[in-house]
Amino acid sequence: MKILVCFKTVPDLEMLSEEDWAVDSNLAVDVSFVKNILNCFDESALEMTLKLSEYSESFNESLTLTALTIGDKKAEMFLKTLYALKFQKAVRIENNEDVRFFPEVIAAVIAQYVEKINNQDVVVLGRQSGEGDNAKTPLLVAEMLGWPCITQVINIEPSQEERLRVTSMVEGGTLIQVIDTPCVLSVGNAPVSYLRVPTLKDKMSYGKRAIEVLNINVFNIASLLNKCYHEYQLIGLEKISNHRAGILIEGATTAEKAKKLYDHYLKERLEKQ
C-alpha cells in the first residue's frame, strides 16, 4: 500500500511578541525570524503513519511511505529526519508564492502529484495549519481526487485484505471504521502528538539521501492562483486583542496570596455558583 503524508512547516507564532504583529502592505506579518516547526496536526499524521507502517509488518504487508511538503528550503531539515525514520521518499515542491489563504492551490498541487507523478492509495494530512487556518486542504484534496475522506482521525491501523481500520472523533464518541482504499485521512486531535527521534545510526544510514525537489510551476500554479483571486481574497488583517486588567496579587507567602485571591476576587463569585 502506498501512503502519502503531506506536511507543512509553520512559524512558531507563539514566539512573536506583541510588537512583532505588524501588518505590512501585502497584508502579511513578518515571521521570517521565527523558527519553523512542524504543524501540530501534521506531526501527528507523520507519527501515526510510522506506527501504521510498523503494525503492517505483522500483517505481512509493507507500506511505501512518501512525505511531501510545499515550501522553501527550510523544510529540508524535516525531510531528512523523515528519511532517517525510514520514509522511502521525501519530496519538496519548491514554492515562493504567497499561498497562505489559498488552500485550493495547495490541494490542486497535491492532487496533481498523486494523479500524475506518484500514484497513492492513501493521502494523510493534518486538518489545518497556521498561518491561514483555512482547515480546507484535506477536504479539497479528497474532492479533487474524487476519493472519500475521513476527518478527525486519531488512529490508523492495518486490517485484513489490504484495508485500514481508522478511528476518528465524532460528536459524542469515536467511530471505528474498516475501509477500502483509496481514501484521504484528515488528522485531528490525536493522542499521538510527537514525531519520534531517529537514531544516530539511522540518521547516518538513511538521512543523507537526496530530497526530490520539484518546481511548483510544473503544476500550473499561475493559473490556479488567478482562479482563486477571482473567487475570494484577503482584504484586511488585524491583531486580535484579548487584554484584560491583569491585576497582580502580591504577598509574602503563598498562603497570603491565596487568602487575598479568595477574599477579594473569588469568595463572592464562588458563592454565586
Partner 1 sequence: MKFTVILNGCSDNFILQAEEINGFLSSNALNLSRGHTIIFYCEENSKIELMANAPTASVELIKVKRYQPENILEILKQRTINQQMDLYLFASDFTGSELSVRFAYRIAGSSLVAVNKLEIEKDGLIAYKAVYSNHMQGVFKLSKKPYCISIAKGCTDLEAVLEKNHEAITEDMMDVVKDDFIKEYDFVEEERVSGLAHAKFMLVAGNGVKQKEKVKRLEEIAKSLGAVLGVSRPVATNAWAPLNQLVGVSGVMAKPELCIAVAVSGAAAFFAGIEKSQYIIAINTDKGAPIVRCADVVIIDDYESILEELLKIK
Q: Are strands 183-187 and 122-126 parallel, antiparallel or unpaired?
A: parallel
Residues 131/10, Cβ–Cβ less than 8 Å: yes
In the complex, least distance from residue 19 CB atom to partner 1, rounded to whole angstroms:
13
In the complex, least distance from residue 3 CB atom to partner 1, rounded to whole angstroms:
16
Q: Considering beta carbons, is residue 74 or 163 the nearer one to partner 1?
A: 163
Task: For residues 182 and 49, give the distance between their C-alpha atoms in angstroms, rounded to a whole number.
Answer: 15
Stretch that binds partner 1, among 15-23, 117-125, 201-209, 215-223 (CB under 8 A): 15-23
In the complex, least distance from residue 60 CB atom to partner 1, rounded to whole angstroms:
20
Residue 163 parent element (H or E): strand 163-170
Of positions 22, 33, 60, 171, contacts partner 1 by CB under 8 A: 171
Q: Establish if 193 lies at the interface with partner 1 (CB under 8 A).
A: yes
Q: Establish if 14 lies at the interface with partner 1 (CB under 8 A).
A: yes
Q: Establish if 178 lies at the interface with partner 1 (CB under 8 A).
A: yes
Q: Three cell numbers at 85?
A: 525514520
What is the distance, to the nearest Å, from the Cα of residue 66 to the centroid of all Cα atoms in its chain? 15
Q: Establish if 248 lies at the interface with partner 1 (CB under 8 A).
A: yes
Q: Considering beta carbons, is residue 60 or 254 the nearer one to partner 1?
A: 254
Q: Three cell numbers at 27?
A: 497584508
CB atoms inside a 10 Å sphere around CB 270: 9
Q: Establish if 135 lies at the interface with partner 1 (CB under 8 A).
A: yes
User: What mask, x for binding partner 1 by CB under 8 A, covers residues 60 to 99?
Assistant: ----------------------------------------
Of positions 6, 114, 122, 190, contacts partner 1 by CB under 8 A: 190
Q: Three cell numbers at 232?
A: 475570494
CB atoms inside a 10 Å sphere around CB 263: 10
Coil vs helix vs strand at 84: helix
Residues ≥6 apart with Cβ < 8 Å to 24:
30
In the complex, least distance from residue 200 CB atom to partner 1, rounded to whole angstroms:
26
Q: Establish if 134 lies at the interface with partner 1 (CB under 8 A).
A: yes
